[in-house]
Structure 1
Amino acid sequence: MGEQVRELTVERLLRGVRWAIVVITAVSLVGFALPVLVVGGGAYRSLPHQVAAFALLAVVLVVATSTRPTGVVRWVLVALVVLASGLALTGVHDRFVVSEEEWSFGVVGWFGVLLLLDLGTRVTCGFLAAHVVGSFAYTVWVGQDAGDLAVVTVLVLGYQLPVVAAAAVVHRVAADAAGAARREAETRTAEAVAERLHADRKARYTALLPAVVPLLTDLTEGRADLADDRVRARYAVEAARLRRLFAEQDDVPDPLVHELRACVDVTERRGVAVHLDTLGEHPTPPVAVRRELVDAVTGLLATARTRARVTVLGTGSAVTVSVVADGTPPADREGAVAVSSVVEGERVWVEATWSA
């Protein structure tokens, strides 16, 4: 909630700066330039040039107000502003170049600020500098006094540059706020992941305690008869369950097959030949369902004597895990997974199916 409030505040702040510049630009064009253009007809070498320049700036203002120009549109609008500046400046008689009748000098800079400020202060100040240099060059070229233009430049930039600086500060504050929000979100995510991992580990240890602790106690106290096939099978089953639980935390494309491979590895270490095959595409079952699927066949794998074949069959919305081995049939079990078994002599076939 706090992050959302911060983002809204930053967005409103940036939007407020933009609309303030829009208002300043519109007031400069309509409130200052238009009255000068209307009453200064005698100062213009070409009145149509002046009207065209004003019309171009008006179009740019409308487009920049209705949307935030980016990409090619932004630079097309900048080119129109430069064209309008050229038309207005060259359309004035030489003796009026440095006068109130040359209305474009104090207006064009605001359009540059409006269009380029979000690109950074360097780009914006570069546009303002290019505009000033161009105006000075034309003034000197037509033989007018550039000293008066210097005074006007100081006055104009005295308004524009503080706005650029203030906007830069606002953008920096917005960037800092966005960075702080991102770091806060990353911290919260890391804490949530850590809590989830801790809960998963605790759940795994809780699931292991009832079966594993008695076996380890019997083994350390010498009560385990490892010559008994049934005892060895119990240890093999729990070893496979341990490997599966450890494999649950691995980040792999197919968790079910990965956990089955962990159990197969335990069986292969006993010298049993195991073949694992996958057929078709299958959904990824939840962790609890994967545990049931793997546990359903773990007992048969753990008691296999010479060979076993494990098959994972996917049918789009369902997955089936089957094992054929010369082992001990598993006990009946209930849960979200449907388990069936068939015994033919020394061969046992177990199938566990889950539908998404």
Structure 2
Amino acid sequence: MPESRAARDHVHSTMRIALLCVTGVVQFGLCVRPLVEYEYRPKWVAVAAFTALALVTAACGVWVVRRKPIPAAVVVVGTAVTLAASAGATRVLPPGQHFGTPDWSFGLVGWHLLLLLLDRVPVLLTAMAVHLTVSVGQFLLAVVPDRAGIGAAGIVAFGTASIQLAVVPISRMLHHRTRQAMSVAAEQEQLTTRVMAVEQWEREQRSVFAGQLGVTLPLLADLADGVLDPRDDDTRRRCSLAATQLRRLFAENDEVPDPLVHEVTACVDEAERRGIEVSLAVSGAAVAVPPEVRRELTSPVVATLAAARSHARVSVLRTHEDVRVAVMADAGTDTDMVTAASAQVAVDYDTYGEYVRMEARWQTRSS
């Protein structure tokens, strides 16, 4: 999972920064003094081993400080150099000083291996086993140890390995905790995004309703004050237009498979309530049309049906190239109902005697 991988990379990069600091402190804070004070034969081998380990630390630091994974080639070469430096430093120890203070490389090498192989646990365990085996083998070959020496060596080896290997389960626990935290954060972000989307949708709906009511409320106020006569044809047409607009607006919020046809059908139903005989023809498969485009496509339906006198014909045509909504009705020649075209929807208006034909066209490919 990408989330799990991101959590793992975050933990490993953070742990490596800590390991880089620990390795530097152990090498230059605890290992320099034994290297200087004790006699190694030959001395240059111990110095070369110390320098090689310092170079491995510096090479890893180039990627660690930038929180980037260490390249595989650097890991392979660094592991080989670390194990070779450990073997060389142990080989030149003074007699009887294995696992003692002069054996500075034994505890240091484990931190280098952790720094290099933290995200490759099987290889890390193998490298640790090789390092421990070589150290124990050289210890047994150097002198014949007594029980006290074997016990002391065992305590040092076990204690050092336990402390260093404890980093592995700690990193796994941190990985698990980090993955859980990232999952919770992602869920919270998704929830916040959904809430913002809902709030935006509510604001848009309030704006649309306010625009429609801005036309309807003055009409109702004029009717209530007696400014308009309900028997007047123009007043009836305005009321019909407002009712059809509101009906289409309510239909816009319904969850249906084909919103465009649903909104057109709502306009047709409102006209039929007024006694207009309306036929509806739909052809073509449903096409996803944005809400703002649907409003512009249905404007001819709203305007023409509101002005229709007795009958009308509505057609909806969908193709791969465009969506067309056309209305023909006996609406007379009143040009007040002509709807304006926009950048997205083109509107055509024609008159044939007492008949009016209006068509809105939206090109799907240009969207």
TM-score bin (small chain): 0.5 to 0.7
Q: What whole-Å deviation, never above 9, does each CA across 1:63-116 have from its counterpart, x for those lacking one?
A: 24443232xx44333323321232123324386654544433212222343345
- The partner residue of 1:246 within 239, 242, 251 is 251
Alignment correspondent of 1:261: 261
Alignment correspondent of 1:323: 326
Q: Which amino acid letter does the alignment assign opposite residue 356 of structure 2?
A: V
Matched, 1:137 2:133: yes
Structure-2 change in CA distance of 1:320 and 1:67 (3 Å): same
Q: 1:205 and 1:58 mapped to 2: Cα distance? A: 67
1:1-356 equivalences in 2 (<5 Å): 19-37=17-35, 40-42=39-41, 50=49, 53-54=52-53, 56-70=55-69, 73-91=70-88, 92-93=90-91, 98-117=99-118, 119=119, 129-142=125-138, 144=140, 147-157=151-161, 159-160=163-164, 174-196=178-200, 207=212, 242=247, 245-247=250-252, 259-265=259-265, 272=279, 274=281, 287=292, 290-300=294-304, 305=311, 307-310=313-316, 323=326, 325-328=328-331, 331-332=336-337, 337=342, 341-345=349-353, 347-351=355-359
Check whether the contact 2:298–2:325 (CA below 8 A) recurs between aligned residues.
no
Q: What whole-Å deviation, never above 9, does each CA across 1:141-179 have from its counterpart, x for those lacking one?
A: 446166444222244246535666666666555445434
Q: Which amino acid letter does the alignment assign opposite residue 328 of structure 1?
A: A
Check whether the contact 1:339–1:352 (CA below 8 A) recurs between aligned residues.
yes
Q: 1:336 and 1:14 mapped to 2: Cα distance? A: 59
Check whether the contact 2:53–2:82 (CA below 8 A) recurs between aligned residues.
no
Q: Which amino acid letter does the alignment assign opposite residue 328 of structure 2?
A: A
Pairwise CA distance, 1:26: 1.1
Check whether the contact 1:307–1:326 (CA below 8 A) recurs between aligned residues.
yes
Q: 1:40 and 1:250 mapped to 2: Cα distance? A: 86
What secondary structure does 2:337 align onto?
coil
Q: Which amino acid letter does the alignment assign opposite residue 242 of structure 1?
A: R
Task: Give the TM-score taking structure 2 as reference length.
Answer: 0.58
Q: 2:29 and 2:245 mapped to 1: Cα distance? A: 83
Identity score, percent: 22
What secondary structure does 1:87 align onto?
helix
Pairwise CA distance, 1:24: 1.4
What is the aligned residue count?
A: 314
Q: 2:53 and 2:12 mapped to 1: Cα distance? A: 28
Check whether the contact 1:301–1:327 (CA below 8 A) recurs between aligned residues.
no
Worse overlay, 41-50 or 337-346: 41-50
Check whether the contact 1:322–1:351 (CA below 8 A) recurs between aligned residues.
yes
Structure-2 change in CA distance of 1:34 and 1:167 (3 Å): same
Check whether the contact 1:78–1:112 (CA below 8 A) recurs between aligned residues.
no
Pairwise CA distance, 1:131: 4.0
Q: Which amino acid letter does the alignment assign opposite residue 80 of structure 1?
A: V
Structure-2 change in CA distance of 1:340 and 1:142 (3 Å): closer
Q: 1:273 and 1:182 mapped to 2: Cα distance? A: 47
Pairwise CA distance, 1:186: 3.2
Q: Which amino acid letter does the alignment assign opposite residue 68 of structure 2?
A: P
What secondary structure does 1:68 align onto?
coil
Q: 2:133 and 2:13 mapped to 1: Cα distance? A: 36
Structure-2 change in CA distance of 1:264 and 1:63 (3 Å): same
Root-mean-square deviation over aligned CA pairs: 5.6
Structure-2 change in CA distance of 1:235 and 1:112 (3 Å): farther
Q: Which amino acid letter does the alignment assign opposite residue 178 of structure 1?
A: M
Q: 1:300 and 1:332 mapped to 2: Cα distance? A: 7
Check whether the contact 1:53–1:83 (CA below 8 A) recurs between aligned residues.
no
Q: Which amino acid letter does the alignment assign opposite residue 332 of structure 1?
A: M
What secondary structure does 2:104 align onto?
coil
What secondary structure does 1:272 align onto?
strand
Task: Give the TM-score taking structure 1 as reference length.
Answer: 0.59
What secondary structure does 1:42 align onto?
coil
Alignment correspondent of 1:226: none
Q: Which amino acid letter does the alignment assign opposite residue 274 of structure 1?
A: A
Unaligned runs of 5+ in 1: 1-11, 215-230, 253-257
Check whether the contact 1:339–1:353 (CA below 8 A) recurs between aligned residues.
yes
